[in-house]
Amino acid sequence: MGGSLFRLPVAQASAAGVLTLNVDSSVPPMATGVGEVAAGTTWAFQCWYRDVGGPLGAPHNFSSALSVQFRL
C-alpha cells in the first residue's frame, strides 16, 4: 500500500468492541489538504487499538483493513 497516511480523531469503542466514528467530508480536515476526500478516490481504513495483554505481550494491535471508494 502506498500514498499518504492520515489519522482520524481518537474514538472510544463500546464494551462490545464496536467502534463508530462519524466523519463529514465537507468540512476540514477531510475537505482540504492531505485528508481531502475526492470523488473517484479509494481509501483504506484500519483501526489501531490498545490491546492490553495482546499477542506476544504487545500493548496494541490493528484491525483488518477496509477499502472504500468515494463517489459523487
Residue with cell 500493548: 59
Is position 1 within any domain?
A: no
Q: Is residue 62 part of a domain?
A: yes
Asked if residue 25 is part of any domain, the answer here is no
Number of domains present in the structure of the chain? 1
Residue 39 within a domain = yes
What confidence score (pLDDT) does residue 2 get?
A: 64
Structural domain includes residue 42: yes
Task: Round to whole Å and give the CA distance between 56 and 4.
Answer: 29
- Residue pLDDT, tens place only, 13-68: 888 888 888 888 888 778 888 788 888 888 888 888 888 877 788 888 888 999 98
Contact (CB, 8 A) for 72 and 38: no
- Grid coordinates representing 51 are 490491546
In a domain, 18, yes or no: no
| Domain assignment of residue 47, yes or no | yes
Q: What is the pLDDT of residue 33?
A: 81
C-alpha cell at 45: 481504513
pLDDT at 67: 92
The DSSP annotation for 4-38 comes to ----PPP-PPPTTS-------TTSTTSSSGGG---
Q: Is residue 44 one of the residues assigned to a domain?
A: yes
